[in-house]
Amino acid sequence: MASRFAISDRVNRVEPGEHVITVLCLEDQAELARQVEELAYGCFGSNLVFTVAKDVASAKKEVQRTTFDIALIDIQVPFRAGEIPHATGGLLFLDHVLSSAHANRPRYLAGITTDRQAFEKADSQFSSSMFTLVQRDVGSTEWLGRLTRFFSYVESVSVKDEGTRQGARRSGEPTLLVVCALHKKELVPSMEAFPSTHWTLIENGQDPTSCFKGTVMTRSGQHTVLAAAAHEPGAPVAAALTARLIQKFKPKIVAMTGIAAATSKDCGFGDILFGEHIWDYTTGKATQEGLRPEVRSVKCDAMVLDQSRQLALDSPFINSVMDEWPGPKPATRLQVHFGPITSGSAVIEDEAQVKRVLARDRKTIGLDMEAYGVAVAAWYSERPSPPVLIAKSVVDHAVPPKTDQWHEYAAYTSARFLSEWANRFL
């Protein structure tokens, strides 16, 4: 399996705008992986985000999720966890990186091996593609020098690239802003869903809300993502937070992830509810006969909607989201549902109230308390206003009994959907 820094380890107080170097190390021997990591840290310092995969299967999953700057490949590694190292395991992974449509090809590739026969077998494959291959001799430090020079070259090119990118866009302008209603239950899973991401806490002594800044690698290159959570639930607080962050940072896209209630039991626990438009079920005129509703809504951007439909049709990805969840799984397979999502000022645990909501818009698929606040804050922001992506996952069906059984799983599926959307379409 693969291992990477826990989110608590990756959140550092550093200067915003610092570039990062993401490294994938396919190495089954922990001591050698540690040695390579220390060498990389000596070159890249705190800008390093280092991920270790101990077998080929785990490494394949990593490159499906992330575009790494560097992939270091041990030639002799197991195909799967628990198996013995195979003489050409690393070459199998290299072939996957170069030929699979599902793999995000790293910018730089290097092979490492201690076995002379494995080196000779891999030399032609690495040389033909202009990749670096290092033979690690026991008792010699020459291979360390070669690897250091390789890292130094990558660092020098990356610094130049970062300078070019900074000159091409306004400093500090993020691509994506992620807003959540709950810090621990929603924001943390959303940040963790962006693999190998270096998160920094934006220092602002006058702002009561913590906002994190991450540099993510996607298929189109490096992007800046902001992530923040409101101090309390509800659309007004979410709207205030979103409006303030849009005004301050001017993101190109605003997204909201987290948990919601489904209006139909056709939606299984953890299923992703994508908001085609977001509306407020509490607006209207209060009369003696009751509330005369006045439905106000914000539509999802057509391009964002089309991209999300494309992602939802990728069955291998949707299945992998569920299959890779380490905890208990619901009985139904994961699905993505598209339709209206509505927000109100209270948590609903009443079937009669759900029916009243559906009487106003029969196609509504989900209920929450914050999505409309986020959407309307983006809609009324300074032009050009950022499009909004709302993807929240089913935690219950708004009827008793409401439990926390599926909170973690639902937050995870929602976050994974957004991170993969960002990987493909940012």
Rounded-to-integer distance, Cα 280 and Cα 285, Å = 13
User: What pLDDT does 159 receive?
Assistant: 57
Does 176-425 match 18-168 at the fold level?
yes
Q: Quickly list DSSP for 134-193.
A: EE--TT--HHHHHHHHHHHHHHHHHHHHHHHHHHHS-TT--SEEEEES-IIIIIHHHHHT
CA distances for 360 relative to 30, 177, 279, 325, 363, angstroms? 59, 31, 10, 36, 9
Least confident among 166-180, 308-322, 353-367: 166-180
147-107-189-262 Cα dihedral, nearest 10 degrees: -160
- The yes/no answer on whether domain 18-168 falls in CATH 3.10.20.340 is no
The highest-confidence range among 19-33, 136-150, 285-299, 343-357, by mean pLDDT, is: 19-33
Residue 394: strand, helix, or coil: strand
The CATH code that applies to domain 176-425 is 3.40.50.1580
pLDDT: is 171 or 37 the higher one?
37
Question: Does pTM surpass 0.85?
Answer: no
pLDDT digits (tens, 9 = 90+) for 310-352: 999 999 999 999 999 999 999 999 999 999 999 887 777 778 8
d(CA 191, CA 230): 15
- E strand residue ranges, 371-423: 388-396
Query: Could you tell me if 200 and 12 are in contact, meaning their C-beta atoms sit under 8 angstroms apart?
Result: yes
Predicted confidence (pLDDT) at residue 131 exceeds the cutoff of 80: no
Tell me the per-residue pLDDT of 48-93, one tens digit each, with 9 for 90 and over: 889 999 999 999 988 887 878 899 999 889 999 999 999 888 888 9
The H or E element spanning position 97 is helix 89-99
User: Cβ contacts of residue 357 below 8 Å, gap of 6+?
Assistant: 263, 281, 342, 348, 364, 367
**Residues near 52 by beta carbon (within 8 Å), at least 6 away in sequence:** 2, 3, 4, 25, 27, 33, 37
How far is CA 232 from each of CA 208, 209, 235, 389, rounded to the nearest angstrom? 12, 11, 10, 21
- Of the pLDDT bands very low, low, confident and very high (cuts 50, 70, 90), residue 12 is very low
**pLDDT of res. 19:** 61
Per-residue confidence band for 208, with pLDDT thresholds at 50, 70 and 90: confident
CB-based contacts of 317, cutoff 8 Å, min separation 6: 311, 420
Strands 198-201 and 11-12, by their bridges, are parallel
Backbone angles phi, psi at 214, to 5 degrees: -125, 145
Quick: pLDDT tens for 148-164: 888 888 887 765 554 44
Banded pLDDT at 361 (limits 50, 70, 90):
confident
- Whole-angstrom distance, CA of residue 389 vs CA of residue 378: 11
Give the DSSP H/E element, type plus range, for residue 424. Answer: helix 407-425
DSSP-assigned letter for residue 66: -
Q: What is the mean pLDDT of residues 248-262?
A: 92
Which of 5-19, 76-90, 279-293 bottoms out in mean pLDDT, i.e. has the lowest?
Answer: 5-19
Q: For the chain, which residues make up each domain, given as ranges? A: 18-168, 176-425
